[in-house]
Structure 1
Amino acid sequence: MHAWPASEVPALPGQGRDLRIHDTATGGLVTLDPGPVARIYVCGITPYDATHIGHAATYNAFDLVQRVWLDTKRQVHYVQNVTDVDDPLLERAQRDDLDWADLAERETALFREDMTALRMLPPKQYIGAVEAIPGIVPLVERLRDAGAAYELEGDIYFSVESDPHFGQVSHLDAAAMRLLSAERGGDPDRPGKKNPLDPMLWMAAREGEPSWDGGSLGRGRPGWHIECVAIALDHLGMGFDVQGGGSDLVFPHHEMGASHAQALTGEFPMAKAYVHAGMVALHGEKMSKSKGNLVFVSQLRREGVDPAAVRLALLAHHYRADWEWTDQVLRDALVRLDRWRAAVSRPDGPPAEALVDEIREALANDLDAPAALAAVDRWVELQRTAGGTDEGAPGVVSRAVDALLGVAL
């Protein structure tokens, strides 16, 4: 599977700062100090209805992570998956009388178009669950053969008790885990499981559903969590720098994925930092496919909304915050975009070196994009009220906003 084309990232004078970011597992800020190549895995879409503003907000957060790292003169090895076979996709295909594979291909293509329009930097590897199956099967067999997995009526389950570190990503109690497991794709009430929280690694073939050769596992398809583990370990290895996604992935997805990887390798932790973006609401409820209260990036684009304004609307909210999409949020972003473009089109302005430092410092401080936007706003207002004599300043501002915030002026 291929990703989308990369937009050029302008080179800036000087060098950015190391990223301090909130780690869900420790509950506080950690300073990341990757080697020459920073490694990040971000969980991708299940392609049955893409791309809503909640998706865009999540991928915007991890695009900023990449841009901060690139500004420190590091390379970035970014991997993202596509869950192109799963129950929600199959259910949507059945509801709409579509071939599930055609639906997945169509929505993945639309996601690529939206990411390109929003100037999100693409992953180095963009891997679908289906194409990862040859690498998933051996991992499930290893877990089973090591006693970390067991069979139940043809399905293979992971035993959470096989990982002594289980629970150290989310820090939830058993009751909260059980509730979230039931809400988010698990089956805690299935009889015969050793632990209600045990997640499925391999689902035996069901009539009328797609399945693949699983070797000694029999025909079936992979569970959700092992998919990401197989892809991450194959391309990044253990101990990569950031595991990212929305806050709704903390449990069970990232908790279970960490335990799968740790049980497989005997190493801890799977990732140095678990980083999660907040949820976006519409009309008072979290924007989600199940509720149907979605604002789609593609629809905004069809209505003629500049993708740069959509990106500014996302950047106006701290990535960890839960917030609500409104017409006013978009109007504010459009006004800001017009002001900024007018400013950088003028022949001169106040010196911009201090502004670049402010943007860098804001982003290094847990991706504080709202503070970075406020700094640009101040420069724009100073240019409007006091003018300036630096002919190179508008160009510096334009390149900095592009390189660090992903907004083309």
Structure 2
Amino acid sequence: MALRLYDSATREVRDFTPLQPGKASLYVCGLTVQSEPHVGHVRSGVNFDVLQRWLRASGYETTFIRNVTDIDDKILAKSADQGRPWYNLAYDMHRELDAAYASLNVAPPTYEPLATGHIPEIIALIEELIAKGHAYAAEDGTADVYFDVRSWPSYGELSGQKVDDMEAAADADPRGKRDPRDFALWKGRKVSEPETASWPSPWGLGRPGWHIECSAMAGKYLGPAFDFHGGGLDLRFPHHENEQAQSRAAGRPFASYWLHNAWITTSGEKMSKSLGNSLVIPEVLKKVRGIELRYYLVAAHYRSHVEFSFSALDEAALAFQRIEGFLERAASVIGEIPADGVACADFVNAMDDDLGTPAAVAALHEVVREGNKLLAEGDSPALRGVAASVRAMLDILGLDPADPSWGPRSGDDEKLTGALDVLVRGVLDERAEARAAKDWARADSLRDRLKDAGIEIEDTPEGPKWSVN
């Protein structure tokens, strides 16, 4: 079965036909780096990481772009509240986001462009829209530029709305707009904003609106037409609606398929900072490992809402540990498990059916059960193929425990510490013998050897103690 995905634009499951044979292009709206990322934020990163892994596993040469919005009203407001430069806040939160993605083994995209690095492309696109009669500069001297929604008859088609039924765009003061629903492409600098948050343009000093940033960056890295555009369901309107309208009004076909992941909720409400119910990643990782949190997120279908709870997270962690336990037992029998296994047919069919990860995970567990039977029967040749298949499916989901990106497990840390202690104690015993024989030169040499290896020795009445410097 060929890959089929639910297209949010047509509201139907469609067969994937790439624009270029054997290639796939994917643009995902990344985060606005205004605060620490929480579980709801990283779900999109995990879901689209699974998509790009499946595209590559299916033989597509994939270009994956995930942007970062590093200039925005919220960034300016929060940085002012905290008494720090806006770019300092954006940089710190970008680092927090990178750390969160890394802790969940979200593979880096092909490129990760920043909005502030693409001002020339943004200005060029706005000029093109003005020239085509789809945008206009405000006549009140503010240097604001707006997209004229009435000039584009298809406006509203992505979200299935009519212009007259829409609320006013709340992204700028309406005084310079021809229609309250017109949205900002360029925002003239306000006296209350820092000078560093504005750039020169044909309309005056200012900064880009949120929507135009993504259109410009997608166009630069993927061209006027590309296969997939993804993001959270909350971005469908107005962000993605506006992206599509302004891009197509400029003559760019833009995305062939629109994909949206659903929310993670707590108490029935979308997890967000404004609700005060967010769970930042470092806090969650005090309770479970990153690989277990990723399993929790992957096991749910990307279009299904997830009601977050720690009890459900604990159950997911136990389910994943059963898979790990099988791989460990299998490795003790057959040695290193091959990394060239083949996913089972049920897994492949599930992934091809709109990234059906729940069914894919169920197929994975079924293969694990088969492997446990082979372990009990002592069938080593068959076990090797089954274990390799399990690894292959885990790798596609970004869950292979042998992936170096995960680092050592906590149990492995303890083993390494124990082994190091044995080695260090051996050197310390030699040093003690040298000191007892009053061979001070050798004793000092052994101490220096440990120090060069980053190990500090403290002589105490109870004997020498060591620590890693």
For the aligned pair, the TM-score class normalised by the smaller chain equals: 0.7 to 0.9
Hey, what does 2:363 align to over in structure 1?
375
- Corresponding residue of 1:366: 354
- Tell whether the 8 Å contact from 2:341 to 2:390 is kept in structure 1 after alignment: no
TM-score under structure 2 normalisation?
Answer: 0.77
1:346 CA drift (Å)? 2.3
Alignment of 1:1-400 (within 5 A): 18-34=2-18, 35-152=21-138, 153=140, 154-174=143-163, 177-178=166-167, 181-182=169-170, 186-187=171-172, 190-209=174-193, 210-265=196-251, 267-268=252-253, 270-301=254-285, 303=286, 305-347=288-330, 356-384=344-372, 387=376, 389=379, 390-400=382-392
Q: 1:405 to 1:376 in 2, by over 3 A?
A: same
Compute the displacement of 1:400 (Å). 1.5
Q: Deviations over 1:236-267 (max 9, x none)?
A: 012211110000011111110011111112x4
Q: Specify the structure having the higher radius of gyration (Cα).
A: 2
3-state DSSP of counterpart to 1:29: strand
Q: Deviations over 1:89-143 (max 9, x none)?
A: 1111122222211111111111111112211121111111111112111111221
Q: Distance in 2 between matches of 1:56 and 1:26?
A: 26
Q: Distance in 2 between matches of 1:201 and 1:385?
A: 61
Q: For residue 289 of structure 1, report the CA deviation from its aligned partner.
A: 1.9
Matched with 1:13 is none
Is the aligned partner of 1:408 residue 2:418?
A: no
Tell me the distance in 1 between the aligned counterparts of 2:2 and 2:214: 27
Higher relative contact order (CA 8 A, sep 6+): 1
Letter matched to residue 45 of structure 1: L
Larger deviation, residues 233-242 vs 94-103: 94-103
Q: Is the 8 A contact 1:157 1:202 kept in 2?
A: yes
For residues 311-360 of structure 1, the C-alpha deviation after alignment (integer angstroms, 9 at most, x for no partner) is: 111012110111211011210111012100011122379xx988622222
Q: CA distance change for structure 1 residues 213 and 102 in 2, over 3 Å: closer, same or farther?
A: closer
| Per-residue Cα deviation, 1:268-301 (whole angstroms, up to 9, x for no partner) | 4x21111000011123311012222111222223
Q: Is the 8 A contact 1:177 1:252 kept in 2?
A: no
Distance (Å, rounded) in 1 between the aligned partners of 2:190 and 2:302: 40
Q: Offset at 1:192?
A: 4.4
Aligned twin of 1:9: none
Identical pairs, percent: 32
Structure 2 contact 368–390 (Cα < 8 Å) conserved: no
CA distance in 2, matches of 1:143, 1:354: 49
Q: 1:173 to 1:215 in 2, by over 3 A?
A: closer
Q: Judge conservation of contact 1:18–1:72 (CA < 8 Å) in 2.
A: no
- Equivalent pair of 2:136/2:148 in contact (CA under 8 Å): yes
Q: In the alignment, what sits opposite 2:451?
A: none
TM-aligned CA distance change 1:175 to 1:298, over 3 Å: farther
Q: Cα offset for 1:144? A: 1.7
Paired letter, 1:136: I
Kindly provide the amino acid, as one letter, of the partner of residue 337 in structure 1. F
For 1:310, the aligned partner's letter is L
Output the amino acid matched with 1:392: R
Aligned pair count?
383
Q: Identify, as 1 or 2, the structure richer in helix.
A: 2
What is the alpha-carbon distance in structure 1 between the residues aligned to residue 278 and residue 289 of structure 2? 19
Distance 1:169 1:130 in 2: 27
Distance 1:142 1:175, change over 3 A: closer
CA–CA distance in structure 1, aligned partners of residues 389 and 190 of structure 2: 57
Q: Secondary structure, in 3 states, of the residue corresponding to 1:157? A: strand
- CA, structure 1 residues 30+281, in 2 after alignment: closer, same or farther (shift >3 Å)? same
Give, in angstroms, the shift of residue 304 of structure 1. 5.5
Q: Is contact 1:18-1:69 (8 Å) kept?
A: no
Which amino acid in structure 2 is aligned with residue 364 of structure 1?
D
- How far the C-alpha of 1:193 sits from its partner, in A, is 1.9
Find the aligned partners of 1:289 and 1:38 in 2 and give their Cα distance. 34
Q: Using the TM superposition, give the Cα deviation of residue 165 of structure 1 relative to its aligned residue in structure 2, in angstroms.
A: 2.3
| 3-state secondary structure, aligned to 2:62 | strand
Code of the residue aligned with 1:292 in structure 2: it is: G
Give the Å deviation of 1:385.
5.1
